[in-house]
C-alpha cells in the first residue's frame, strides 16, 4: 500500500531527520532525485532549454540545485526568480557556478523564454504554499500552461493544496510531479490529481519518521491479495452469494449491468430480485432470478440495492427490507436518494453498509463535498456509521473508524452511463466474500478503474465493455499477462 500524507505530517517527520543530518543534506537528496527524473524526461540534456520558476522558499532551493545539476550536464538553464531578494542563496550560487542564467519574474522576454523551453520546472512553492497563487506566480503558471515544453512540478504543483488537493484559482499544470519523502494527499485527490500528472516519489530517508498512514492507496498486488481465486474445496455457495436489487421493468439495464458485474467478479452465485427480472434472466442465465421481493430471493451474504430501481414508495419499502437484514449492504443511486430522506435506516444497522455517492448524491445528505474530498467522505462515514465511497477524480473510500483509501486507477473514459452500476456489482460481489467493507469498496474501485483502462485501449468504452473485460482485468491485477495488449503498463 502507498501511504498518503498531509503537509503537516511531512513537516513533523522532516524535523528529526533535519536535526540528524548535516545542513543541506535533505535538499541535496531531493535535488539529485529531481535532476535525475528531469534528465530522463528530456532524453538528452545537452543543449536543451530548461526554465526554473523559483519561489523564495526551499521549494525554489530544490529547483535551483536541480537546475545546477542539469546545467552541469550541458543543459541551457535559466532561473526566473519570483523574489530575487529571497531566492535560496546556496542554490543560486550553485546554478551560477554551473553556468546557469538568472532573470526576474516580470523581466521582458520571460514569457518567450518559458514558451520556448523544453522543460519548465515549477519550484515556486511546495508544502509551504498557502492560499491561491499570488499574481506574479499565477502569471508564470499561465505562461507555462501555454508553452509546449514538459512541465515538471517540484514536490507539489504550485497552487495545489498539498494536503487536500484543493485549487483556489490557478495551479501549475504538471505533466510530472517529483515529490520527496512521501506522497502528499493533494497529488492524488481532487483538482490536485489532475494538476500533478504522473507522480515520482524520491526517497530522502523520511520513511522511518512518518506516522502510520491514515489514508492509503492500493497497488495491484494489494488488490490481488484480496481477490483470491477459488480453491479446490470451494463450491458455488462458499465463494459468497450476492443479491442484487436494481433496474425496473421499463429500464432493466441497471439490473443487467450490476448482475453481470457481480457474476464476472466472483462467479459463485448471484441472486437477483426485482422488477427487471425478465431482462436479467435473458442476459444472465447463470443468475437465480425472482420478480418478487428480496426476502423471496434466498439467502445471500451481501446485497446491492439501488441502481435504476426508482424512488417511489415501493422502492423505499424494498430498501428498508434490505437494510433490515443482518448482512452487508451496498446502497447506490436511487437508494441513496431514498436514504438521504431517511438516514435512520442505516444508522440502526449492525452489519456493514457501503454508500457509493457521486457529488450530487453526497450533497443530499446535508452538505456539499467541498474542496477537501477525503475530509468530506470521512465526515459522512462517521455521521452515518457507514463506509462512504465518494466517486470522482481519485475516488475516496472512508471507513467510519477514520481510515481511508484514495483510488489510483481509472480513466476519464469511465464517465459514461452505467459504469456506476458496474462498480456496485463488483463491490457487492467482494462484500459477499467477507472482506472488510472498506477494503471491499477500495478493491472494487481499483478493479473498476483498471477494467476501464483496459477497455479504453480499444477505443471509446460503454459500461457493457467493462462487464466483458472484468475477468481479464482480474487476471491482470493478479499479474497474469493478458494476450494481445502489447505491454504490461496501464
Ligand X SMILES: NC(=O)C1=CN([C@@H]2O[C@H](COP(=O)(O)OP(=O)(O)OC[C@H]3O[C@@H](n4cnc5c(N)ncnc54)[C@H](OP(=O)(O)O)[C@@H]3O)[C@@H](O)[C@H]2O)[C@@H](O)CC1
Residues making up the binding site for (6S)-NADPHX: 58-62, 126-132, 155, 254, 308, 358, 421
Closer CB to K ion, 180 or 303, in the complex: 180
Nearest to 82 by CA among 40, 30, 137: 137
- Grid coordinates given for 386: 457507514
Contacting range for ligand X; rule: CB under 6 A; set: 55-63, 106-114, 232-240, 394-402: 55-63
Size of the site for ligand X (CB under 6 A): 27
HSE-up (13 A, CA, CB side) for residue 245: 31
Closer CB to ligand X, 142 or 293, in the complex: 142
Which residue among 125, 258, 302, 404 contacts ligand X (CB under 6 A)? 125
Closer CB to ligand X, 25 or 219, in the complex: 25
Q: Are 302 and 328 in contact (CB under 8 A)?
A: yes
Q: How far is the first Cα of the chain from the last one, in angstroms, to the nearest whole number?
A: 18
Assess 130 for contact with ligand X (CB under 6 A). Answer: yes
Torsion, Cα 341 246 266 384, to 10 degrees, reads 0
Torsion, Cα 137 138 141 145, to 10 degrees, reads -170
Assess 126 for contact with ligand X (CB under 6 A). Answer: yes
- Least distance to K ion, CB of residue 82, Å: 11
Q: Are 64 and 123 in contact (CB under 8 A)?
A: yes
Q: Are 260 and 418 in contact (CB under 8 A)?
A: no
- Least distance to ligand X, CB of residue 113, Å: 20
Assess 419 for contact with K ion (CB under 5 A). Answer: no
Assess 58 for contact with ligand X (CB under 6 A). Answer: yes
Assess 442 for contact with ligand X (CB under 6 A). Answer: no
Task: Tell me the C-alpha to C-alpha distance, in Å, between residue 405 and each of 193, 336, 373, 376, 388.
Answer: 14, 21, 11, 13, 10
Across 276-426, the runs of DSSP E, i.e. the strands, are 288-290, 302-305, 329-331, 353-355, 387-390, 396-398, 404-406
Nearest to 465 by CA among 482, 476, 481, 452: 452
Binding-site residues for AMP, please? 391-395, 420
The contact mask relative to ligand X for 26-45 (x = CB under 6 A, - = no) is: xx--x---------------
In the chain, count H helices and then E strands.
18, 19
Identify the DSSP state of 237. T
Which residue among 118, 122, 399, 472 contacts K ion (CB under 5 A)? 122
* CA dihedral (64, 66, 72, 77) positive or negative: negative
| Residue 372 partner contact from ligand X, K ion, none using kind-dependent CB cut-offs of 5 to 8 Å | none
Which residue among 4, 133, 276, 447 contacts ligand X (CB under 6 A)? 133
For helices 463-477 and 253-265, what crossing angle results, to 10°? Answer: 10
Which residue among 10, 79, 127, 154 contacts K ion (CB under 5 A)? 154
Pure H helices in 122-170 = 135-146
Closer CB to ligand X, 18 or 115, in the complex: 18
Assess 164 for contact with K ion (CB under 5 A). Answer: no
Contacting range for ligand X; rule: CB under 6 A; set: 105-113, 125-133, 237-245, 372-380: 125-133
Assess 215 for contact with K ion (CB under 5 A). Answer: no
Which residue among 6, 78, 151, 158 contacts K ion (CB under 5 A)? 158
Assess 56 for contact with ligand X (CB under 6 A). Answer: yes
- Least distance to ligand X, CB of residue 7, Å: 8
The values of phi and psi at residue 100, to 5°, are -75, 155
| Residue 122 partner contact from ligand X, K ion, none using kind-dependent CB cut-offs of 5 to 8 Å | K ion
- Least distance to ligand X, CB of residue 63, Å: 8
Which residue among 47, 131, 208, 285 contacts ligand X (CB under 6 A)? 131
For binding to ligand X (CB under 6 A), which residues are involved? 14, 18, 26-27, 30, 55-60, 62, 125-134, 137, 154-155, 180, 204
Instruction: Summarize as ranges the residues that interact with K ion (CB under 5 A).
Output: 122, 126, 153-154, 158
Amino acid at each position: 500500500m502507498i501511504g498518503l500524507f498531509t503537509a503537516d505530517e511531512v513537516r513533523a517527520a522532516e524535523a528529526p531527520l533535519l536535526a540528524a543530518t548535516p545542513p543541506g543534506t535533505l535538499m541535496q537528496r531531493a535535488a539529485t532525485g529531481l535532476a535525475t527524473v528531469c534528465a530522463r524526461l528530456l532524453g538528452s540534456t545537452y543543449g536543451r532549454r530548461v526554465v526554473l520558476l523559483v519561489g523564495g522558499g526551499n521549494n525554489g532551493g530544490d529547483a535551483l540545485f536541480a537546475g545546477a545539476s542539469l546545467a552541469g550536464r550541458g543543459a541551457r538553464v535559466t532561473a526566473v526568480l519570483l523574489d530575487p531578494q529571497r531566492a535560496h542563496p546556496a542554490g543560486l550560487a550553485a546554478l551560477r557556478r554551473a553556468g546557469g542564467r538568472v532573470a526576474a519574474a516580470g523581466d521582458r522576454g520571460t514569457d518567450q523564454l518559458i514558451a520556448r523551453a523544453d522543460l519548465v520546472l515549477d519550484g515556486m512553492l511546495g508544502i509551504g504554499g498557502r492560499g491561491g497563487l499570488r499574481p506574479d506566480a499565477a502569471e508564470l503558471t499561465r505562461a507555462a500552461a501555454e508553452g509546449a515544453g514538459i512541465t515538471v512540478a517540484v514536490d507539489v504543483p504550485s497552487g495545489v493544496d498539498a494536503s487536500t488537493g484543493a485549487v483556489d484559482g490557478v495551479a501549475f499544470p504538471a505533466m510530472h510531479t517529483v515529490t520527496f519523502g512521501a506522497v502528499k494527499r493533494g497529488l492524488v485527490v481532487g483538482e490536485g490529481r489532475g494538476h500533478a500528472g504522473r507522480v515520482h516519489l524520491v526517497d530522502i530517508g523520511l520513511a522511518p519518521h512518518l506516522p502510520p498512514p491514515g489514508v492509503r492507496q492500493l497497488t495491484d498486488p494489494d488488490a490481488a491479495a484480496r481477490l483470491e481465486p477459488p480453491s479446490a474445496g470451494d463450491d458455488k455457495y462458499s465463494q459468497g452469494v450476492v443479491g442484487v436489487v436494481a433496474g425496473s421493468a421499463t429500464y432493466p439495464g441497471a439490473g443487467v449491468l450490476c448482475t453481470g458485474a457481480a457474476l464476472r467478479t466472483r462467479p459463485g452465485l448471484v441472486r437477483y430480485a426485482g422488477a427487471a427480472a425478465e431482462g436479467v434472466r435473458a442476459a444472465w442465465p447463470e443468475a437465480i432470478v425472482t420478480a418478487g421481493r428480496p426476502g423471496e430471493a434466498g439467502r445471500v451474504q451481501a446485497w446491492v440495492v439501488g441502481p435504476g430501481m426508482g424512488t417511489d414508495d415501493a422502492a423505499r419499502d424494498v430498501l428498508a427490507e434490505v437494510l433490515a437484514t443482518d448482512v452487508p449492504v451496498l446502497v447506490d443511486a436511487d437508494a441513496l436518494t431514498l436514504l438521504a430522506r431517511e438516514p435512520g435506516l442505516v444508522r440502526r444497522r449492525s452489519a456493514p453498509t457501503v454508500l457509493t455517492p457521486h457529488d450530487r448524491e453526497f450533497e443530499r445528505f446535508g452538505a456539499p463535498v467541498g474542496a477537501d474530498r477525503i475530509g468530506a467522505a470521512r465526515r459522512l462515514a462517521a455521521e452515518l456509521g457507514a463506509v462512504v465511497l465518494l466517486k470522482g477524480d481519485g475516488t475516496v473510500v472512508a471507513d467510519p473508524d477514520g481510515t481511508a483509501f484514495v483510488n489510483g486507477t481509472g480513466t476519464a473514459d469511465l464517465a459514461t452511463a452505467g459504469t456506476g452500476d458496474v462498480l456496485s456489482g463488483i463491490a457487492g460481489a467482494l462484500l459477499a466474500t467477507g472482506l472488510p467493507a472498506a477494503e471491499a469498496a477500495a478493491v472494487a474501485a481499483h478493479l473498476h478503474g483498471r477494467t476501464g483502462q483496459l477497455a479504453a485501449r480499444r477505443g471509446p468504452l460503454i459500461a457493457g465493455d467493462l462487464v466483458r473485460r472484468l475477468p481479464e482485468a482480474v487476471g491482470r491485477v493478479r499479474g497474469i499477462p493478458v494476450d494481445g495488449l502489447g505491454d504490461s503498463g496501464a
